Amino acid sequence: MPGGQQPQKHYGITSAISLAPPREIDHLYTKKLCDAMKPFGVFEDEEELNHRLAVLGKLNNLVKEWIAEISELKNLPPSAISCVGGKIFTFGSYRLGVHTKGADIDALCVAPRHVERTDFFQSFFEKLKQHEEIKDLRAVEDAFVPVIKFKFDGIEIDLLFARLALQSIPDNLDLRGDSMLKNLDIRCIRSLNGCRVTDEILYLVPNKENFRLTLRAIKLWAKRRGIYSNILGFLGGVSWAMLVARTCQLYPNAVAATLVHKFFLVFSKWEWPNPVLLKQPEDSNLNLPVWDPRVNPSDRYHLMPIITPAYPQQNSTYNVSTSTRTIMTEEFKHGLSVTDEILQGKAEWPKLFEPPNFFQKYKHYIVLTASASTEENHLEWIGLVESKIRVLVGNLERNEYITLAHVNPQSFPVSKENRSENDFVSMWFIGIIFKKVEKTESVNIDLTFDIQSFTDTVYRQANNINMLKDGMKIEATHVKKKQLHQYLPPELVQKKKRSIAELNRSSNGGSSKRISLDSSHLDSSRDTDSGTPFSSPTSKPPKPVSDTEDGASPPKQLFVETSPAASAAAAAMPQTSAAATVPPTSAASGVPPNAAATVQPGASSADTEQGKSIPLIVS
């Protein structure tokens, strides 16, 4: 076996399902899988790899220099300063060896006990600021896991900090031992967690190369299918890695093509909420909170538990909701049926990476827009709004008339024609399935409260962290499928239809490109757990096509603005709210009026005045 590892060793909490060695054809399918992934930029060339290593080397030297300077300022003796150390550890996709072209690097700065967290966010931040190769420097000190973000010679780095209870940090330090966590501050424990989990995953798989190739395929598939985003309630990088690692444990001798198929087989049939575990949880008696439904009642409500293998064990999927679990389960089943076809020679690997036609899938959508008056404010604002979208999904799921709320992780810019001149705007789309209402002629569904409580949550949070600035606002609009062309470029709404037709004509369907999800967007994807896996398209969408296209009657745009500074377009529209009544059986045929809820903060604070009750009624 490559890597000289012994697959006969027992991995995981159960014995293997199959110890069958790979056949010649399995190697052939694996080569074809590699070829199918290459156009998406999932493999980095030697030059880029060496560039990353050089940047990390420079960063490591910067850390050592800074720790020596701090030690001198704190009057440590010269003999101690010379061996005080300090080290950069990597984790996440880079450490696992599955990062894509242009992906960022998750890193951890480990310092000895006399270096404080405040030193990291003050003097080290200043040191980075002086460095000519470092750009876009920003600190997020009050985050759950505090971080400094920057670009070092073109490579994006998210740098965490942990201070260990040691006098010096040697170069050969191993973070896997639990004793390392004794007497540490909770933020340091959280910061160390990423490295400890990544190292443990690599330790628990039978063959690292097979694991890496399989994980690259699954991550690409998840991004293409729109289910890669921890923050929106799908799965992030660590969770996908653990599911692939579990598959590798169950089929320890299999190569990547087989493992991809077995991945879909195992998880399309998995009986959630049974947890996925890579090893039996151990208690290190450090009194840290661990995932344990026997002890913590709240853990019993987790829908899709995937448990990290390093102490303190956590569920990496606590953001998953009933809707996102339903969507992912359907995708596992779809993946199984496609890989069945591929391994029977009826289809080719590119078919697995075909994106779904999200904008054809539902009759109803909610368009969520977040806008701000400057580019800098907009970046901050969409980060906060995106992190709270799952609150809106949760609110919608609890509505008795809604069966499913499916958020597309891709965000879209608003075309210049549809926004006021100075605004920066991003849109997200949520597909909605309403319950069929029996024994009634018609029903009006009021979503005002669901959206209002979401906007209140966002403004409250923004106000608490002093982020709220004039011009930051959120708007939620209900639209029918036929009206999507008013928000999206026609090729994005229509091309999906054409490519499905192409798919019917040709089983591989691998040649068609999607404007929103092509390989260039994957290349620049944020390959972390904390962001949307795709960047917004950089090209400005063309003008929307005419309102009457496809025979849809033009919708009456009914915007309700609380802001005096409403856009010119909105101001020209009737400032009233209305609800149409449509029999539930024929809901798809007529186009009801749009109803939009917009909330904008006052200049000073997110008071109750800015959060007025705004009707959003869907018929």
Q: Which residues are catalytic?
A: 93, 104, 106, 158, 219, 228
Cα→Cα distances 99→32, 219, 382, 601, Å: 20, 10, 25, 39
CB 223 within 8 A of CB 522: yes
Cβ–Cβ < 8 Å for 291, 299 = yes
Q: Could you count the other beta carbons within 10 Å of the beta carbon of residue 464?
A: 11
Q: Residue 432 carries which DSSP code?
A: E
User: Going by C-beta distance under 8 Å and a sequence separation of 6 or more, which residues neighbour residue 231?
Assistant: 319, 386, 387, 389, 390, 529, 530, 531, 532
Q: Residues 6 or more apart from 594 whose CB is under 8 A from it? A: 477, 478, 479, 483, 555, 556, 557, 558, 559
Are 2 and 269 a contacting pair, CB within 8 Å? no
User: In angstroms, how far is the first alpha carbon of the chain from the final one?
Assistant: 61
**Nearest to 435, CA basis, from 329, 254, 284, 585:** 585
Residue 413 identity: P
DSSP secondary structure letters along 27-95: HHHHHHHHHHHGGGT-S--HHHHHHHHHHHHHHHHHHHHHHHHHHHHTT--HHHHTT-B-EEEEEHHHH
User: What's the rounded Cα separation, in Å, for the pair 367 and 488?
Assistant: 11
Contacts of 92 (CB under 8 A, 6+ apart): 99, 105, 106, 194, 198, 237, 238, 527, 528, 529
* Residue that is written with structure tokens 């603005």 in the block: 561
367 three-class SS: strand
Q: Are 601 and 473 in contact (CB under 8 A)?
A: yes
Bridge partners, 111 (sequence order): 163
* Exposure on the CB side of residue 151, measured as CA atoms within 13 A: 7
Amino acid letter for position 599: V
Instruction: Output b/e per residue, 544-577; b: 16+ Cβ within 10 A.
Output: beeeeeeebeebebbbbbbbeebbeebeebeeeb
Count Cβ atoms below 10 Å from residue 289 Cβ, excluding itself: 12
- Side-chain half-sphere exposure of 413, counting CA atoms within 13 A: 17
DSSP string, 144-199: SS-EEEEEETTEEEEEEEEE-SSS-B-TT-----GGGGTT--HHHHHHHHHHHHHH
SS3 210: helix
Task: Output the six-digit token pair for 159.
Answer: 């740098």
Amino acid at 390: R
Q: Confirm if 168 and 83 have CB atoms less than 8 A apart.
A: yes
